Structure 1
Amino acid sequence: MVHASKTVSDVIQAHFEGLTRAERQLAESLLENYPVSGLGSITTVADNAGVSTPTVARMVQKLGYKGYPEFQAHLHQELEATISNPIAKHDRWAANAPNQHILNRFADAVMANLRSSLGELKTATFDDAARMLGDRKRSLYFVGGRITGALAEYFFTHMQVIRPKTTLMTSNASAWPQHVLNMQPGDVVIIFDIRRYEADLTTLAKVARQNGVEIIVFTDQWTSPVAQHARHCFKLHIEAPSAWDSSVVTLFVVEALIEAVQSASWDETRERMNTLEDLFEQSRLFRKPR
């Protein structure tokens, strides 16, 4: 039986090591253009992967689905969820809203998102991402989309204090080539991309990766195409009883990474913070109590 909170991609990856050679070939074909690659007939999917139709039937049952129709139904549900606009999401939540205050409904949704996300997040992934972000030999570039750009800016603002060589890229794709020009192999681009995924961000990730740059992506449970090019992918649950997706869990992981990086290099970070406070004092940025 397939766990309801897991995507088909999650299920395939979880079972990958136990698949036969032909089934692995099929799995790789499905993940290459996910989820569209699995929306054709069973014969079409088999032909595209270069395997037999019985191989498809066996693999979907091995994954825990009753058959190909159920497997494909899950893919359709995921596709519908990823392309939903704010109006459609609002209508879906309004129709199923529990009879309680919005504060309680939001709290329940956020807590469920946090539990699911932490249950799926590997500490090794978190630790390696923190190590990369703290490596001062690497330059860091932060970028997000129309909504997630605010998360990228928040992350950048803190990392800028902790360490040098940090850059905030605008959401305007026309400005990206100049940044890519300055990127060196081993540098890191931190990308925020949630449904409805922005094609320009995938293009940026692909070009940067081709130039030896590492990618860290923060996305949702359905997974941005950017993940195909990423070294680390934080798949976080974002649904809320609203026309808008929730950024609470994403911000939680971002803040935990900020703390991990600054704690690992506290002596250098403290020195930078002291210098910054002196600059604030000179510029009289903050109002002092009388």
Structure 2
Amino acid sequence: MENDPIASRLGAVYPELPPGERAVVRVLLDDYPFAALGSLRALAERAGVSPPTASRLFDRLGYDGFSDFQAAVRDGARDRSRLLEFITHRPQASESGGPHPGRPGGDTPAGAADPGAWSGVAGPEAPAGEEPAVTRSGGPGAAAPGGRAGARVSGAAAGESDGGAGLSSLWQAAEDLRAGLDGTLTAVPEPLYHRAAALLAEAGSVWALGGPLSELAADYLIRQLAGLRPKAERVPGSAPGRARTVLDLTASDVVVAYDFRRYSPRTARFVHAARARGARLVLVTDAWGSPLAAEAEVLIRLPREAAGPIAPLAHEIAVTELLLVATAARLAPSAAGRLAALDELTQTL
């Protein structure tokens, strides 16, 4: 977060602000950038001030109202590279292997900002068209990996092979992965899985697609779902193939779209065309909210916690697994017979 110009500016002007506007800045910086993404009223309530007081802050900063400030926050986050920032600003381990500031036993007081705990959005390898949500690492419930005794490599041995700083960053990423995954599984309520499963089980056909990264989750969904029921397909990649798919869609069909920042224009175009033919939408997206959210019959929104500096595909796969479990339960026992026949044919062929 220390590299974000908007956050830096908020911190710089803080001492000059009146008390009410200071309260707004504290809320923004404590939960940046997510505190800026809701309504002005919600932000004011969190800060304990009136909406006009909160609004004066953004006027003072030179924005054309709160919506202009929100747009600037979104644009700034879109330009940051989470992987690059991780590599550039990862915590540096001391030679003695002592605790790091901001961790238990470190020098940073409880509740103080830990710049190393923040990262930007999708790494430089992420293809254009998709970007995972901004993440704050080290969330509540983070646990050390390797819970069994002796599972960790000793500090001395690890230092000889990888270097203390590299090992520290690796374990932090593992802690973030575990905490983020726990948060994801907790955040999606069970009734939502059952609503999606009902659509997947009863649809005339199911078509899934995603962006450059999340298409892997879409592919996994279809590979497993095709064993449970017929007419489960990936959306073709070519424009002619997509056109033929849309041409035959009806109101009995379901599209499952995985759409994460940066949101894929190709995914949006297909979904809009499918919805125009009456198809229903199950959307899996992030905390920022895909532009397709308003069109979804079932909206599964993953929380903002992610797996350190790498795109959190594990979270998308975990949610997909639970969707499949709920669908399999709804399709039993017909799915059991289908799977048995599939196994027999697989051995024969």
TM-score by length of 1: 0.70
- Residue number among 95, 105, 110 corresponding to 2:172 in the alignment: 105
- Residue number among 57, 73, 80 corresponding to 2:76 in the alignment: 80
1:93/1:75 CA distance change after superposition, 3 Å: farther
Residue equivalent to 1:67: 54
- Residue number among 79, 82, 86 corresponding to 1:89 in the alignment: 82
1:5/1:183 CA distance change after superposition, 3 Å: farther
8 Å contact from structure 2 (residues 253, 280) kept in 1: yes
1:184 equivalenced with 2:250 (yes/no):
yes
What are the equivalent positions in structure 2 for 1:107-256 lying under 5 Å apart?
107-135=174-202, 137-236=203-302, 237=304, 239-242=306-309, 244-256=310-322
1:265 equivalenced with 2:252 (yes/no):
no
Tell me how far 1:60 sits from its aligned partner: 5.4
Encode CA deviations 1:28-79: one digit per residue, 9 max, x unaligned.
Answer: xxxxxxxxxxxxxxxxxxxxxxxxxxxxx76753475761346565553344
8 Å contact from structure 2 (residues 193, 322) kept in 1: no
Tell me how far 1:241 sits from its aligned partner: 3.1
1:105 alignment partner AA: Q
8 Å contact from structure 1 (residues 82, 222) kept in 2: no
Task: Tell me the distance in 2 between the aligned counterparts of 1:5 and 1:108.
Answer: 21
- The structure that has the greater radius of gyration is 2
1:260/1:241 CA distance change after superposition, 3 Å: same
Percent identity over the alignment is 21
Tell me how far 1:204 sits from its aligned partner: 1.5
Tell me how far 1:104 sits from its aligned partner: 1.6
Tell me how far 1:150 sits from its aligned partner: 1.6
Tell me how far 1:185 sits from its aligned partner: 0.6
TM-score by length of 2: 0.59
1:7/1:120 CA distance change after superposition, 3 Å: farther
1:269 alignment partner AA: A
Q: Give unpaired runs (5+ residues) of structure 1.
A: 13-56, 284-290
Aligned partner of residue 67 in structure 1, secondary structure: helix
Task: Tell me which moved more, 58-67 or 121-130.
Answer: 58-67
Task: Tell me the distance in 2 between the aligned counterparts of 1:181 and 1:227.
Answer: 23
Aligned partner of residue 212 in structure 2, secondary structure: coil
8 Å contact from structure 1 (residues 117, 235) kept in 2: no
Encode CA deviations 1:90-126: one digit per residue, 9 max, x unaligned.
Answer: 2222344234524422222222322433443233322
8 Å contact from structure 2 (residues 36, 43) kept in 1: no
Aligned partner of residue 209 in structure 1, secondary structure: helix
8 Å contact from structure 1 (residues 142, 169) kept in 2: yes
> In angstroms, what is the RMSD of aligned CA positions?
2.8
2:292 alignment partner AA: V
Tell me how far 1:128 sits from its aligned partner: 0.6
